[in-house]
Every structure is written in structure tokens, then in C-alpha cells.
Amino acid sequence: MYANIIVDISHEQLDKVFQYKIPNRLSDSIQVGSLVFIPFGRGNRQIKGYVIDITNKLEASIDASCIKEIISVKEGSIPVEAQMIQLASWMKKHYGSTMNQALKTVMPIKTEVKNIEKKWIKSLVDSTTLQAALEEARRKKYVARVRLLELLVKQPVLSKYELEKKKISSKTLEPLIEKGLICLEKERQYRNPVLEYMNRLPKTKESQQIILNENQQNIVDSITHNIEQKDLKPCVIHGITGSGKTEVYMELISYIISKGKQAIVLIPEISLTYQTIFRFYKRFGNRVSMVNSRQSQGEKFDQMERAKNGEIDVMIGPRTALFTPFSNLGLIIIDEEHEGAYKSDTMPRFHARETAIQRAKMSKGLVVLGSATPSVESYYKAKHGLYHLYYLGKRAVSSSQLANTHIVDLREELKKGNKSIFSETLHKLILDRLQKKEQIILFLNRRGYAGFVSCRFCGNVIKCPHCDVSLNAHNNGTLVCHYCNYTIPFPKQCPSCSSNYIATFGLGTQKVEAMVHKQFPMARTLRMDMDTTSKKGEHEAILNSFSSQQADILIGTQMIVKGHDFPNVTLVGILAADLSLHTSSYRSSEITFQLLTQAAGRAGRGEKSGDVVIQTYDPEHYSIVTSAQQDYVAFYEKEIAYRKMLSYPPIGHLLALLVTSSDEALAQEGILCFANEINIAFGKKIQIIGPTNASVSKIKDSYRKLLYIKAMNNDTLIEVKDKIEELQEMYYKNKKIFLQFDFSS
Ligand code: ADP
Ligand code: ZN
Ligand code: ZN
């Protein structure tokens, strides 16, 4: 057997793999992740390396007679790097990717990041010696040196800043350093994003210490009891919005820290507002740090280093925070665990929930999954005893009430002759709230302005020539492709039939804002969508200004329904509730239920009670009915029946294989070949759906073919994936077709 080894884990070098022979005496003690000693280079200097793969295939470039052998294995505690390598190997196997892709996912990348250093000089001699040196410098008229020594006589330590202020350069310092009068000291400094956040924070009044209510305390007691009994089964906390889940998380983290361990808190990026960070900072001070996608490489890398060095106990962040190199990780919390953003959309397409459970297993830690609308997968596992299940059914602040919901049938509105985007009910309630100076959120279940452009005469829809999607109209007079940014001016005539009847369809946030201004001219509005939040800080600026009541109505897409508390909001209007029902995913009902429930949860979070108006063309759909009643369990029962009927996850398991190529015939041939071969190899154990064109059949001139494979057992699908990789290696090695695997389980 041979081991593939990386010797430098400084992260840029991950591609440099060396192969060594595993001597028989070590074959039992070496595994993926092992830290080994190897002879290296011409002089066979003994160095350390990490095993990233074990194989019986010798690299073609190596001669079997002169391959070197591993000398020994480091016994004892495994460093965190080894754990991360094992995790990468697990991800490679379960999600399909190269080892290199998997390693790059779990290791923070150190590119050309400069360390920040704090520098200062220190006097090494007593004051008489300094005084003598000063006299001498004065005699010789060394002006700069006199300035320096005068300072040093007064204070023996000078910061770089103080030196700069007095215009003392390193030329002045050097002779004194040589004479041994002073020395230069420096210390690595880490960037601290949390402090930066806190400094930007408006001063708030000190709030008092929260004491957990009985429900919260029971959950904390039960989970800590589990940990003490070494029962590390993942826990689901199903808690309605505002029921105090975050307080429970913090209590559990305190407990874990008291045991000398560390915690990771995953939060969807969009909910990672300063309010959230502030709550954790107040509790854990400088022992907490955060990562997010807007940080610089240096900032991110520093946070990972701080974690490794034991400077912090808690890391908060989106998906990637899962790979924080804590050496004694005791707890991983995944808030809003149902969120789609926990699934990676690049290879390996890992799910943070499953990967967290795997990582926790390695470090003997616990995973806690929290949500007001748990994923059907997690709830199913909890119901079947694979996870513990806890429930928080009341809002933590007793004065805050759940809202009244009204479902409005838009078809009826049209019959009554109301063609506006606001139903009668919603219109009346908006007027009422404007009068009472209470705030309103209008939620639109989609992105951007207006959507697609088509010809009302011939029906032609204007599409991107490189991607098979319709172009979106932006109100600066252009049409834009959201996949590749292809942009053209808004056409005056239909490119297909030359008629003038060309116009935008659908409803966007800008249009909603325009309608609000028309019907409620006195209302002050804010709009939050992809367009208004593309720059750093814009997202929070909007939330802050709405929070401080600088606007009456906040209009936005998905992103407004998450993470922020607005106590003065007493009305939420959901303008087109069913739009998300009509996507091609088997999850569309679940996603709709989650969105509507979260949106409804925004109303009445303060002392005043609230109303939610759900406008829809599909008022009987169970996603809409159950979300209006805020009845998760009723939704779950309907949904799981549907999943059972069609063997969709979590009952069955699903693997999507995407084959892409710039040569359409080659992509088609490839996917047919894979479909045939796995059909022969797996027969009745799997069900093959397709192949078809992907719903977007071309992106950036690359053709996309899709195949679904269903199986009752996820391990079968992993074997299917391995088989497809083999086939690719056998038949398509040097041809330009690319595979992507996507597991849903
Ligand atoms: P969730 O995470 O479930 O949405 P939070 O933890 O954010 O809920 O709690 C909602 C609000 O209730 C917050 O303002 C929080 O400070 C407050 N809260 C939570 N638990 C308590 C408690 N035991 N006593 C008083 N206030 C609480
Ligand atoms: Zn036309
Ligand atoms: Zn395009």
C-alpha cells in the first residue's frame, strides 16, 4: 500500500502531494489524517507530513524500486489538522469531489496575506547610560538621535506610532540597536472583526441579565444532562420565532466553555446582523469571533489562527465557520437549520448539517439544530428517534403575541374588479397602520424588478444567448442575465416579429414601491433586495434606518424576513405567496411554508399585536393554510405523506448528476453512457429519472444534462457515484466533459 502525503500544510501547497510506501509494520497504524515522519529530499532529512489518501495504485511518475518508505507514525493526540483532513476525506466520499477540492474547503486558505504586526522599541540600559548617550548626541549634533534619546529618558518604551509622530526613522534607530542601547520588539496582531463591529454600533442602553424561563431551562438541563451521560445524539430545538432559542444556545455555549471546550455557531449569512453579534459579544466578550463572506482573506485567516491558538472559544458565521480549527470542539449549533444556504453550491456540494454531525463525531461534540420551521429531514429523524426533539411553543417575552392571519384569494379580488396589487383587506390595514404610526413590511416572494420581457403579440420571451434563461428587466433601461451578466438595452421592438407590444411581466420590488407611493403618498418607504444591498454595509444601513423608524414601510424579498427584530412592525403583507410553489424542486412546498411562516413571524414581535395578510391565487394549498395557522406539525404531516408517496428524501435518497460540456453531443453521449451502465450495474436497487436538459440548459455556452438517481439507501447512491467516476476515468478521461454530484438525503 502507498500513502499520499502533504508535507506543508501552509495551505497554498495542498496540491503538492508526495507518495510513500507504507511498510508492513505500520500498515495497521496509518490512516487518512495520520501525522507521519518521512525521509525527504536528496539528503533524506526527516520531516513531518499528513496522510491524505491511502491507495494501492503507484503514481505513474514513480518507479516502484526507488519509492521511499514512511519512517514512523506520531502516536498520541491527533492535531486538529488531522481531523480536518479526515473530514475532507469523508466529504470527498459522501459528496463526490477530488481530495484537493475537499481539502481546500476545510482548510483556511493562506494566500498572500500579510500578518499585521505591532512594533515598539525598548530601552535596554539604565538612565545614566541613556543620559550619557544623549549628551554625546548633543555634542555631535545628531538632531534626530537627540529627539529619540530625550524621549527614551522620559519613557523606556516607545510605540511605532510615537516614533512616527516624532519623525524618527529606522536609520536613527539602527546605530543605537547595534550599540545595545535599545531593541526593537514586535508581536503578531490579529485582525478583530467583532471589535470593529462593536465600534460601529450605536450606543445602546445596558439591558438587564436575562433569566431563562422554565421551558428554556428544561431544554438546557436536558441537553447538558445528555452530554454528561455521553449521549451525543444531535438535538433539534423546534422553537417558534421569538421563543428564546438564541438564549438557550448561549447557555449551552457557556456550559461547554466551562468544560474547557469550544463552540461553533452557524447562522445564515443574511441573519448575521450586528444585533446577533452584539448579543454574543455581550455574553462572551473577546472570546467570540466571526467570519463572513465579506471579510478579506487576511481577516478570515486571522480568525482561524486565533481559534487554533486558543484565543477564542466561540466562532460565529455561515457555512464555512464549520471548519474553524478548534482543537477541542464540544458544540456545534446550527440556527435556522432548514436554510438552503447550508448546502454548498460548489464541489464538494456538502450539507453543513450532515457535515457538522460528522465533525462532531470526530471531536466527541454535540450538534444542536434550531429552527421555527425545521427541515422535513431533521424533523423526520427526530420523530424516528435518531435525534432528540425539543419544543419551545411560546414567545419568550410574554407580552408579545402571535399575529392574526388573513388569507386573501386574489382571484376573488379580480372578480370584484380590484386590479391593484393590494387587496381590499391589505389596503385598509395599511391605511390604519400609517395612521397609528406603526410600521409595515411588504414581502415579495421574488427577486429584482419586474422579471422577464416578452412580446404580447407573438409570445416571444427575450432570453440570454449564452444561458437558457430569460433576461431580467432593470429600470435603468437594460435587460440583464442573472447567470452571466450579459446586458442589452431594452428593445423597442420584438426581435422576432418586430411588433411594438413588448413589455415586462411580473412584479418586482421597485414596482411595488412605485405602487405604494401612488396609493399611499404619505408613506415613507425603504426597499431591500439584491440591488439595494450589493455593497458592504447597505444591508445593515437599511435595517438600522427602518429600526429607528425613519420609514413606515419596508419592501423587500426573502432577505427581509430573517434575523432582525422590529418591535414596531404590526402588519406584514405577503404580496404573492404562491410564487415559490411553482418551481421544479420537490422542496417547493416546504420552501414556501418556511418563507411564509418566517414572514408572518415578523409581525407583532413587540407589545402591540399584529396582522399578517397572505395574498394568493392558491388559498387551499396546504403550505399556505398551515403557515397561516403557524402550524408546523400539520404541515409536516401533509408533506411527509407526499414524500413517502414519491420516495423523496428523507424517505428515499436522491442523487442528481449534472454533466456539462461545451460540446452538446458529447454531454449527451456521456450522460446516456452513465445511465446505461449504472442501470446494468445496480438494476432494481435504483430508479433512474432522465436524462434531460437541466432547467437552465446552457450557462456560459456550456451545455447541461441532468440525471436523477433515486434509491432507498444513501450508501447505494455513494456506490453509484463511485461507479460513475470510474466510468468517467475509463471512457472520458481526456475529453472535455465535467461531472457534478448533488446528494439530497
Ligand atoms: P429566537 O432565537 O427563538 O428567535 P430569541 O432568543 O432571539 O428567540 O428571543 C426573542 C426575544 O426574547 C429576544 O429579545 C430575547 O432577548 C428575549 N428573551 C429570550 N429569552 C428570554 C427570557 N428568558 N426572559 C426575557 N426575555 C427573553
Ligand atoms: Zn413578437
Ligand atoms: Zn447569460
Structure confidence by residue, pLDDT tens digits, 692-710: 887 778 888 899 998 989 9
User: What residue's CA is closest to ligand 1, atom 23?
Assistant: 212
Structure confidence by residue, pLDDT tens digits, 222-257: 999 999 999 999 999 999 888 999 999 999 999 999
- pLDDT, residue 58, reads 83
User: What residue's CA is closest to ligand 1, atom 6?
Assistant: 244
Q: Give 280's pLDDT tier (boundaries 50, 70, 90).
A: very high
Share above pLDDT 90 across residues of the chain, in percent, rounded to a whole number: 42
Q: Where is 57: in which H helix or E strand?
A: none
pLDDT average, residue stretch 718-724:
95
Mean pLDDT of all residues belonging to the chain: 86
Q: Give 284's pLDDT tier (boundaries 50, 70, 90).
A: very high
Residue 499 CA: which ligand is closest? 2
Which region among 174-188, 597-611, 729-743 has the lowest average model confidence (pLDDT)? 597-611
Q: For residue 582, how far is its CA from the centre of ligand 2 (angstroms)?
A: 26
Burial of 522 (0-12, 13-18, 19+ CB in 10 A): exposed
Structure confidence by residue, pLDDT tens digits, 344-363: 988 899 999 999 999 999 99
Structure confidence by residue, pLDDT tens digits, 520-548: 999 999 998 777 777 777 877 888 889 88
pLDDT average, residue stretch 485-497:
88
Q: Is the pLDDT of residue 122 over 60?
A: yes
Q: How many angstroms separate the most distant Cα atoms in the chain? A: 101
Question: Which backbone phi and psi does 25 adopt, to 5 degrees?
Answer: -65, -20
Structure confidence by residue, pLDDT tens digits, 29-86: 888 888 889 998 888 888 888 888 888 888 777 777 788 999 988 876 667 888 898 8
3-state secondary structure of 39: strand
- Residue 276 amino acid letter: T
Contacts for 408-414 with beta carbons within 8 Å, 24 or more apart? 408/613, 408/614, 408/615, 408/616, 408/619, 409/616, 409/617, 409/619, 410/615, 410/616, 410/617, 411/617, 413/615
Residue 464 CA: which ligand is closest? 3
Q: Is the pLDDT of residue 447 over 70?
A: no
Structure confidence by residue, pLDDT tens digits, 393-427: 988 876 666 788 999 998 888 778 887 889 999 99
- pLDDT, residue 156, reads 82
Task: Looking at the CA of residue 248, tell me the nearest atom of ligand 1.
Answer: 6
- pLDDT, residue 653, reads 93
pLDDT average, residue stretch 367-391:
97
- pLDDT, residue 43, reads 84
Q: For residue 239, how far is its CA from the centre of ligand 1 (angstroms)?
A: 11
Residue 472 CA: which ligand is closest? 3
> Ligand 1, from 236, 368, 397, 399: best to mutate by most atoms within 8 Å of Cβ?
397
Instruction: Give the start-end residues of each E strand in 549-699.
Output: 553-556, 569-574, 611-616, 653-661, 686-699
List all residues whose CB is within 6 A of at least one atom of ligand 1.
210-213, 216, 239, 241-247, 396-397
Greater pLDDT, 189 or 291: 291
Q: Where is 120: in which H helix or E strand?
A: strand 116-123
C-alpha span between 235 and 360 (Å, rounded): 12
pLDDT average, residue stretch 462-472:
76
β-partners of residue 262 are: 329
Q: For residue 583, how far is its CA from the centre of ligand 3 (angstroms)?
A: 20
Q: Is the pLDDT of residue 457 over 90?
A: no
β-partners of residue 263 are: 314, 331
Residue 500 vs residues 470, 492, 493, 511: alpha-carbon distances, Å: 19, 7, 5, 22
> Ligand 1, from 207, 210, 278, 337: best to mutate by most atoms within 8 Å of Cβ?
210
Q: For residue 546, how far is its CA from the centre of ligand 1 (angstroms)?
A: 21
C-alpha span between 737 and 732 (Å, rounded): 7
User: What residue's CA is closest to ligand 1, atom 15?
Assistant: 244
Q: Give 336's pLDDT tier (boundaries 50, 70, 90).
A: very high
C-alpha span between 650 and 178 (Å, rounded): 71
Q: Which among 425, 369, 193 has a CA at the least distance from the CA of 297?
A: 193
User: What residue's CA is closest to ligand 1, atom 10?
Assistant: 242
User: What residue's CA is closest to ligand 1, atom 4?
Assistant: 242
User: What residue's CA is closest to ligand 1, atom 5?
Assistant: 244
Task: Looking at the CA of residue 392, tell me the nearest atom of ligand 1.
Answer: 3
Q: For residue 466, how far is its CA from the centre of ligand 2 (angstroms)?
A: 21
Q: β-pairing, 116-123 with 314-317? A: unpaired
Task: Looking at the CA of residue 240, tell me the nearest atom of ligand 1.
Answer: 3
- pLDDT, residue 602, reads 78
Contacts for 517-523 with beta carbons within 8 Å, 24 or more apart? 519/420, 519/422, 519/427, 520/430, 520/431, 520/434, 520/553, 522/434, 523/430, 523/434, 523/552, 523/553
- pLDDT, residue 610, reads 87
Q: For residue 496, how far is its CA from the centre of ligand 2 (angstroms)?
A: 5
Q: Is the pLDDT of residue 108 over 90?
A: no
Structure confidence by residue, pLDDT tens digits, 145-155: 898 888 888 88
Q: For residue 212, how far is its CA from the centre of ligand 1 (angstroms)?
A: 9
Q: Give 448's pLDDT tier (boundaries 50, 70, 90).
A: very low
- pLDDT, residue 186, reads 78
CA angle 514, 518, 519 (to 5 degrees): 120
Angle between helices 143-154 and 127-139 (to 10 degrees): 160
Share above pLDDT 70 across residues of the chain, in percent, rounded to a whole number: 91
Q: Is the pLDDT of residue 456 over 50?
A: yes
C-alpha span between 158 and 122 (Å, rounded): 7
Q: Give 444's pLDDT tier (boundaries 50, 70, 90).
A: confident
- pLDDT, residue 317, reads 95
User: What residue's CA is closest to ligand 1, atom 21?
Assistant: 396
To which residue does cell 435556522 refer? 336
How many Cβ atoms from other residues are within 10 Å of residue 437's Cβ?
9
Q: Give 262's pLDDT tier (boundaries 50, 70, 90).
A: very high
